[in-house]
Structure 1
């Protein structure tokens, strides 16, 4: 019985690691993700995302200033490696003022500078 519990725990841990959203910058660019940075001009730690979501509970995982800090209300710039425009929202659930980051472009955030709570791809 203990062996089954240990195996089940290991499977759950690996599964959780596989489905965690933030990834390294190289993974983000290789897989056409959307990347937020802790500092302006793509500086400091980064967090990579692939699907629209709220930022609550997400942290910056890349090397540099801000690593381990919450993404929500802490991002200053963004890089869009994908083929569609990405929109960063001031509020959770894709509401409020926003900043658009064009496909394959980057920018410093203005309307959502250190006040960002969610994002989504636009069609």
Structure 2
């Protein structure tokens, strides 16, 4: 009998110990989007100064969505609970061990603000209620603005972003960048020249340069600029090589001169239709440009 009691006592102790082990192990796997800002997470708050409902994350998110029930929303108690977080956050708390970068655009593009591990703070005026994505551990290598890299000099600017039409019917399939007629236009990505149409100034003279990068399986298409006379289909183009001069080929007036830059998946000779087409054919390119070392600005 004493032997049986000893066995039962030992078993009970083992179960108790096992229960204690399980109890201490469970918090380690508890981190989830539960409306509590826990260790290892990055959290948005609906109001300034870390007030209102919060939304907690354990990793990067490129697109928050904009409609329930599929969007990322505020989950904690307080003002804003249940609202989609895109363009709705005012402050943050970074409880992760990495720097977290908040972006103005989806897919890690546009103006950004960094928060070091442990930092709490309000979003800057340019990002308050304008947050569209965030990234854990962003690259520390310096990125170059696309508007600078395209011309290799200052003065360029994005005149129309991806899907950025405001007064034109259709969906804009690329990014328009302008500096001035005659400015050197440089290739942003290396690859093989697979198509060139030289065009001419005016609305009916569209020019096209298509450069395919096989390792990325992407084609970069440049419209409206005047291709250099040395370009020949089949030649290899280096990143940064001058390929054209800014012009208004396929544009109705010289005052609207710009270079349209379009990223297309796969091998493509022509740009996707933008004007008058209600459906996007290309994915949002911002994350691609970031991966190539550029800021989309």
What TM-score comes out, normalization by structure 2 length?
Answer: 0.33
Matching of residues 8-19 of structure 1 within 5 Å: none
2: distance between equivalents of 1:23 and 1:87? 22
Q: Once superposed, which parts of structure 1, at least 4 consecutive aligned residues long, lie more than 4 Å away?
A: none
Q: Does 1:33 align with 2:41?
A: yes
State which of 86, 108, 128 in structure 2 corresponds to 1:113: 128
List gaps (5 residues or longer) in structure 2: 1-31, 66-70, 139-297
Shift of 1:23: 2.2
Matching of residues 1-123 of structure 1 within 5 Å: 22-25=33-36, 28-30=37-39, 32-53=40-61, 54-56=63-65, 57-110=71-124, 111-122=126-137
2: distance between equivalents of 1:115 and 1:34? 17
Residue-by-residue CA offset, 1:38-96 (whole Å, 9 max, x unaligned): 00000000000111112211110100000011100000000000111100100000000
What TM-score comes out, normalization by structure 1 length?
Answer: 0.77
1:38 and 1:66 in contact (8 A); partners too: yes
List gaps (5 residues or longer) in structure 1: 1-20
Higher relative contact order (CA 8 A, sep 6+): 1
Larger radius of gyration: 2
Kindly tell me the number of residue pairs found equivalent between the two proteins. Answer: 100
2: distance between equivalents of 1:55 and 1:23? 16
RMSD: 1.2
